[in-house]
Chains A and B, each alone.
Chain A
Amino acid sequence: METLFGIVVDGVAYGMILFIISVGLSVTLGLMRVVNLAHGAFAMVAGYVASYAAQGLGLPYAVGLVAAILFTVLATLPLEKLLYRRIYGSANELAQVLLTIGLTFVIVAGINYLFGPTLKRIPLPDALLGTVAIGPKSIPVHRAFVIALGAATVLGLWWLLERTDFGIKLRAAVDDPNMAAALGIRTERLYTATFALGTGLAALGGVLGAELLPLEPYYAIRYIVLFLAVVAVGGAGNILGSAAAALALGIVDTAGKYLIPSFGEFFFYAALILILFRWPHGFFQGRAA
């Protein structure tokens, strides 16, 4: 019972982090058809900025979080103009994979040059340190905070995509970019905005998840497989699919580590193969891509 409770809490918190980071990847993949392997690197950059803001400059956690998101979005927008625009929607997935792997390597080297190879922490404020009681059990405040923010992100994204003008245009462009452009939707601008949204979410996840996915230069390479797995299972461009996939994979992975630690990630990948074998377009069938 104790174990089950731990698995659910940790698994859901982990899944929420995976969701926040992966959903940006999912939307950019669904809309722009870019397999962006540098997405994890963006999350890592934000984590390092937040860590520097908190430890180097002594700023409060919330300020560091906002600064990290702003910095990451502003720093990656030029990349969108210079690099990504060349490979949007290209039939050549290989070129996308390689360009973004190259970018990831450059970011990894840059982070190591600036911050060194050691593990970096983002100190939590006192408000997030204790535990909070839920019925007879108590869970760490940080986990509860992550879960709450994850849920807020799901709702916020749902509202943004289903209820706003931006969302309507975005969905139209994901379904049929040419028709959307013909109807007068400024797809270029939409792409830039979506890219910024995706990067911002990656940044948010990178900072929030620093406790679960520790910050070190190889972060960008180590975890990108997880994020891609979420997108593949959730279906590219599908928000709710990403959420469900992230939670499911997060819980499976956590359960595996709790119950049969010696098997490492065997069950995670076995589950992945079984799901993708049966549903090659993702468990929740992506809109496009």
Chain B
Amino acid sequence: MGGRDTGAVAIDPSPQVAARGPWFRRALGGAAVPLLAAAGLAAFWLFPNDLGLMTRIAATALYVLSLDLVLGFGGIATLGQAAMFGAGAYAAGIAAVHLVSDPLVLLAVGGLAGGLVALVTGALILHARGLTLLMLTIAVVQIVQEVVNKARDLTGGSDGLSGIEPSPLFGLFRFDMFGRTSYLFALAVLLVGFLVARRIVRSPFGLACRGVKEDPLRVAALGGSPRRYLVTLYAIAGVFAGVAGALTAVTSGIVGLDSVSFSWSAEALVMLVLGGAGRLVGAIIGTVAFMTIHHVMAAIDPFHWMLFIGLFLMGTVLFLPGGIASLADRLIKGNRA
């Protein structure tokens, strides 16, 4: 996906359209998936030499989407989302090496692993709030990493896990060396994931989760169980993160220890906030923007890249709290005033 293409989804400064704000936004919401698909396909034709990077972006976008479910819709500030991503990646990788090779089955294995890890750890840690919760999520991801590192026979330890060779998709499409199948597969999985996520956040359950985010006491007073909602949401998001991990493993053929690290969690958070938490399209915009900038800047010097992203992050928090995706709202509001 090209950054510019998806950026256009949220930014339309035309005052004529803006005057019909809510209708316009609803139409835009409905068009989000076709626009994403079109942008993804356009990128496929425009940048045939960057398919590897674009595949990684698509899989990462699904991972950031899972964080958006947890954070943007449940209000759970976490620095441990990589625990689920890594669990999915390693589960799929190990299954691919020893058991099955069908890519769709591998995704299911990854999603199951991510969901299980999220369910178990979520039930354990989600009674805490604030800094304590943040520390607990960090502790979980560090422990998962130590376990992966220790189970060297299965995971390859710090050498990483390689030799993941999925069979052709539906028995028809081979994963070719140019990464064409990989990219289209990743894009399709991302779009399906986006649709499912949207279905979830618009369901009564999704609304209840938002209620918990806004005012857990009131939800409890109305007879709901805030913690049960949050644990369920955390587990569902874990499935998404696990599928994203499995997708990365299937399309890249290798899983490393960094896929289950504190910094990979932090990067997801940065991507989400750049794009705009609390709206699904924000996760995708943020991922595309971040990964593209990272790719360009890191090629020059990793420290320049940190300076740039650091300033960008501070600027976003101070001047654009809703992230890139909120630009459209701002423009609409600005035009009305």
Instruction: Tell whether A and B belong to one assembly.
Output: yes
Task: Tell me which residues across on chain B come within 8 A of A270, comparing CB atoms.
Answer: 139, 143
List the A residue with the shortest CB-CB distance to B133: A280
Q: Mark A244-285, 1 if CB is under 8 A from B, else 0.
A: 000000000000000000111110011011001100111000
Asked whether any CB of chain B lies closer than 8 Å to the CB of A112, the reply is yes
Asked whether any CB of chain A lies closer than 8 Å to the CB of B225, the reply is no
A105-B309, A109-B307 known; A35 vs B142 contact (CB < 8 Å): no
Asked whether any CB of chain A lies closer than 8 Å to the CB of B192, the reply is no
Task: Tell me which residues across on chain A come within 8 A of B124, comparing CB atoms.
Answer: 273, 277
Asked whether any CB of chain A lies closer than 8 Å to the CB of B130, the reply is yes
Give the shortest distance, in Å, between A113 (CB) and chain B (any CB): 7
Query: For the complex, what is the distance from the CA of A273 to the CA of B34, rounded to whole Å?
Result: 44
Asked whether any CB of chain B lies closer than 8 Å to the CB of A97, the reply is yes
Task: Tell me which residues across on chain A come within 8 A of B128, comparing CB atoms.
Answer: 276, 280
Query: For the complex, what is the distance from the CA of A133 to the CA of B280, rounded to whole Å?
Result: 64
A102-B317, A225-B262, A232-B135 known; A94 vs B307 contact (CB < 8 Å): no
Task: Tell me which residues across on chain A come within 8 A of B149, comparing CB atoms.
Answer: 264
List the B residue with the shortest CB-CB distance to A270: B143
Q: In the bound complex, do residue B306 and residue A264 qualify as a contact, i.e. CB atoms below 8 Å apart? A: no
Q: In the bound complex, do residue B314 and residue A231 qualify as a contact, i.e. CB atoms below 8 Å apart? A: no
Q: Mark B284-309, 1 if CB is under 8 A from A, else 0.
A: 00000000000000000001101101
Interface residues of A in 204-256 (CB under 8 A from B): 217, 221, 225, 228-229, 231-232, 236
Asked whether any CB of chain B lies closer than 8 Å to the CB of A168, the reply is no
Q: In the bound complex, do residue A105 and residue B132 qualify as a contact, i.e. CB atoms below 8 Å apart? A: no
List the A residue with the shortest CB-CB distance to B263: A221
Task: Tell me which residues across on chain B come within 8 A of A231, comparing CB atoms.
Answer: 131
Task: Tell me which residues across on chain B come within 8 A of A193, comparing CB atoms.
Answer: none
A109-B310, A277-B125 known; A86 vs B130 contact (CB < 8 Å): no
Give the shortest distance, in Å, between B240 (CB) and chain A (any CB): 20
Contact of B134 among A98, A105, A228, A269 (CB under 8 A): A228
Give the shortest distance, in Å, between A237 (CB) and chain B (any CB): 11
Q: In the bound complex, do residue A102 and residue B321 qualify as a contact, i.e. CB atoms below 8 Å apart? A: no
List the A residue with the shortest CB-CB distance to B146: A266
Query: For the complex, what is the distance from the CA of A229 to the CA of B150, rounded to whole Å?
Result: 23
Query: For the complex, what is the distance from the CA of A225 to the CA of B135, rounded to whole Å?
Result: 8
Interface size on A, residues (CB 8 A): 45
Asked whether any CB of chain A lies closer than 8 Å to the CB of B237, the reply is no
Q: In the bound complex, do residue B143 and residue A273 qualify as a contact, i.e. CB atoms below 8 Å apart? A: yes
Task: Tell me which residues across on chain A come within 8 A of B147, comparing CB atoms.
Answer: 266
List the A residue with the shortest CB-CB distance to B317: A99
Q: Mark A72-83, 1 if CB is under 8 A from B, else 0.
A: 000000000001
Asked whether any CB of chain A lies closer than 8 Å to the CB of B270, the reply is yes
Contact of B131 among A35, A99, A273 (CB under 8 A): A35
Q: In the bound complex, do residue B143 and residue A99 qualify as a contact, i.e. CB atoms below 8 Å apart? A: no
Query: For the complex, what is the distance from the CA of A93 to the CA of B78, rounded to whole Å?
Result: 11
Q: Mark B65-87, 1 if CB is under 8 A from A, else 0.
A: 00000010000010100000000
A95-B321, A264-B146 known; A269 vs B314 contact (CB < 8 Å): no
Q: Mark B311-337, 1 if CB is under 8 A from A, else 0.
A: 111101110010000000000000000
Contact of B130 among A106, A117, A289 (CB under 8 A): A289
Contact of B139 among A101, A105, A272, A281 (CB under 8 A): A272
Contact of B77 among A93, A221, A264 (CB under 8 A): A93
List the B residue with the shortest CB-CB distance to A105: B310
Q: In the bound complex, do residue B150 and residue A95 qualify as a contact, i.e. CB atoms below 8 Å apart? A: no
Query: For the complex, what is the distance from the CA of A277 to the CA of B132, rounded to whole Å?
Result: 9
Asked whether any CB of chain A lies closer than 8 Å to the CB of B108, the reply is no
Asked whether any CB of chain B lies closer than 8 Å to the CB of A103, the reply is yes
A109-B303, A109-B310, A273-B139 known; A97 vs B270 contact (CB < 8 Å): no
Task: Tell me which residues across on chain B come within 8 A of A221, comparing CB atoms.
Answer: 263
Q: In the bound complex, do residue B132 and residue A280 qualify as a contact, i.e. CB atoms below 8 Å apart? A: yes
Give the shortest distance, in Å, between A249 (CB) and chain B (any CB): 12
Q: In the bound complex, do residue B77 and residue A106 qualify as a contact, i.e. CB atoms below 8 Å apart? A: no
Contact of A102 among B135, B140, B142, B314 (CB under 8 A): B314
Task: Tell me which residues across on chain B come within 8 A of A276, comparing CB atoms.
Answer: 128, 132, 135-136, 139
Query: For the complex, what is the distance from the CA of A142 to the CA of B318, rounded to whole Å?
Result: 43
The chain A residues found within 8 Å of chain B, CB to CB, are 29, 35, 83, 86, 93-95, 97-99, 101-106, 108-110, 112-113, 117, 217, 221, 225, 228-229, 231-232, 236, 262-266, 269-270, 272-273, 276-277, 280-282, 289
9 A-B pairs with the lowest CB-CB distances in the bound complex, closest first: A105-B310, A102-B313, A109-B307, A102-B314, A106-B310, A266-B146, A232-B135, A269-B139, A112-B303
What are 17 contact pairs spanning A and B, CB under 8 A?
A35-B134, A94-B273, A97-B77, A99-B317, A102-B314, A105-B307, A105-B309, A106-B306, A108-B303, A117-B303, A229-B135, A236-B131, A263-B146, A272-B136, A273-B143, A277-B125, A280-B129
Inter-chain pairs besides A236-B131, A277-B136, 19 sampled, C-beta below 8 Å: A93-B134, A94-B277, A97-B79, A98-B317, A101-B313, A105-B306, A109-B306, A110-B307, A225-B142, A225-B262, A228-B131, A231-B131, A232-B131, A232-B135, A264-B149, A269-B146, A272-B135, A277-B124, A281-B132
